[in-house]
Amino acid sequence: MQSVIKQDYPHIEYIVIDGGSTDGSLDIIKKYEDKLHYWISEKDNGMYDAINKGFARSSGDIMCWINSDDILAKGALKYIAELFTNHNKVQWLMGYPTLIDEKSEITWQGQDAQVFSPYFFYLHNHLRNFSFIQQESTFWTRTLWNKAGGSLNLKYSMASDFDLWLRFFKYEKLYFSHQQLAAFRRRKGQLSENQEKYLIETNLAVSKNQKTLPVHNKLNIFILKILRKILFSLKIKNTYYLMFSKILGTPNWID
């Protein structure tokens, strides 16, 4: 909470949705309630139901969320507000994906954007090196949120953010910033440790979103899959991945 409250940007709607915690979280929320736009502590139907509740209470032009383990980087919101204001073409953006440990020390930071095209997911390349769009480091406009349906899909218990990115890709390019904007905290016992379930849900999201793509996009995916099958059978996987990178082009850096 302090990572949000201490941001040097005044126009923040900080909304906290708690699922009726009994571990002392309520006392912490009340400690900072004068800094909050809105908060509630009640039973919900899972993490994404809670997040939908929060967004339904919001009215800001730029949106994001962090979970209770995660943090915003110092100065992130001021930087994001200026960037979106100065670049109207940017409708969603990700900073350097960053991992921290339980002591808030950075353990990893990916400074090369690997996931910048929906084809990366539609061809299941995320299964090869477990590369994804980091939710904590991603910001978007309310306009794009509304275009993409204006809610998170509650059919997913772990990968509704992944589904949301696929919906965003149908309308806008993903842009990248050379800056850390947030961080995901790794600790034992967290929900995201169940990677097998997460991948099952991502594959389901890929399948469902692919069905709604225009015919030419579906055709591109089909051709690339056939090409992959041929090159893999010839045992020249590197040729496929090199060709794939050429087709995708380069990430859309904004700074």
Q: Is 104 contained in some domain?
A: yes
Q: Is 40 contained in some domain?
A: no
Domain count, the chain: 1
Q: What confidence score (pLDDT) does residue 248 get?
A: 80
Q: Is 107 contained in some domain?
A: yes
CA dihedral 100, 105, 111, 116 (to 10 degrees): 20
Q: Is 31 contained in some domain?
A: no
Domain extent at residue 140: 73-253
One digit per residue, pLDDT tens: the chain, 255 residues?
999 999 999 999 999 999 999 899 999 999 999 999 999 999 999 999 999 999 999 999 999 999 999 999 999 999 999 999 999 999 999 999 999 999 999 999 987 777 889 999 999 988 887 889 999 999 999 999 999 999 999 999 999 999 999 999 999 999 999 999 999 999 877 766 778 999 999 999 999 999 999 999 999 999 999 998 998 899 888 888 788 887 788 899 998
Phi-psi region of 129 (alpha: psi -120 to 50; beta: other; left: phi over 0): alpha
Q: Is 15 contained in some domain?
A: no
Q: What confidence score (pLDDT) does residue 66 get?
A: 97
User: Which tokens hold the place of 164?
Assistant: 């949301």
DSSP line for 9-57:
-S----EEEE----SSHHHHHHHTGGG-SEEEE---SSHHHHHHHHHHT
Which element (helix H / strand E) includes 107? Answer: strand 106-109
Tokens 């991945």 identify what position? 241
Q: Is 208 contained in some domain?
A: yes
Q: What confidence score (pLDDT) does residue 191 get?
A: 65
Q: Is 140 contained in some domain?
A: yes
Q: Residues 103, 197, 164, 254: is their CA dihedral positive or negative?
A: positive
- Entry pTM: 0.94
Q: Is 237 contained in some domain?
A: yes
Rounded to whole angstroms, how far apart are CA atoms 92 and 176? 9
